[in-house]
Amino acid sequence: DVVMTQSPLSLPVTLGQPASISCRSSQSLVYSDGNTHFSWLQQRPGQSPRRLIYGISNRDSGVPDRFSGSGSGTDFTLKISRVEAEDVGVYYCMQYIDWPHTFGQGTKLEIK
């Protein structure tokens, strides 16, 4: 299985400050068509996961532009330009190039 490794696992952030989460995959996530099969998801307390970004840097509908994704191949980053209270939760990276699709361990973002 493709192993997804996130860091940090805990991320205390001051409101209004930036935040960054890294994810590394155990193999390239670039598919034969050139697309990268990678996503970031957010899970707020008590809610279902919600996809934020797919294909490295494409935001889903309704996702604020303070969220951005970057990276290539096996190394990816999620950045939040200015953290807001509603951003509290656990963030997961996910690959869907190979079955089973797999998630990272999760990064818990909290407000300092």
Residues that bind other proteins (CB under 8 A): 39, 48-51, 54, 60-61, 90, 92, 96, 99-106
The distance of closest approach from Cβ of residue 14 to other proteins in the complex, given in angstroms and rounded to an integer, is: 26
Collapsed DSSP state (helix, strand, coil) of residue 86:
helix
Q: How far is CA 91 from the centre of its chain?
A: 6
Q: What's the min distance (Å) between Cβ of 53 and other proteins?
A: 10
Q: What are the C-alpha distances in Å from 36 to residues 26, 67, 72?
A: 14, 18, 8
CB 51 to other proteins: min, Å: 4
Tell me whether residue 77 or residue 102 sits nearer to other proteins (CB atom).
Answer: 102
CA–CA gap between residue 40 and residue 27 (Å, rounded): 17
Indicate the residue among 15 and 93 with the shorter CB distance to other proteins. 93
In the complex, least distance from residue 41 CB atom to other proteins, rounded to whole angstroms: 8
Q: Which residue number, 59 or 66, has a Cβ lying nearer to other proteins?
A: 59
SS3 95: strand
Q: Specify the length of the chain in residues.
A: 112
* First-last CA distance in the chain: 36
For residues 20 and 96, which CB has a smaller minimum distance to other proteins in the complex? 96
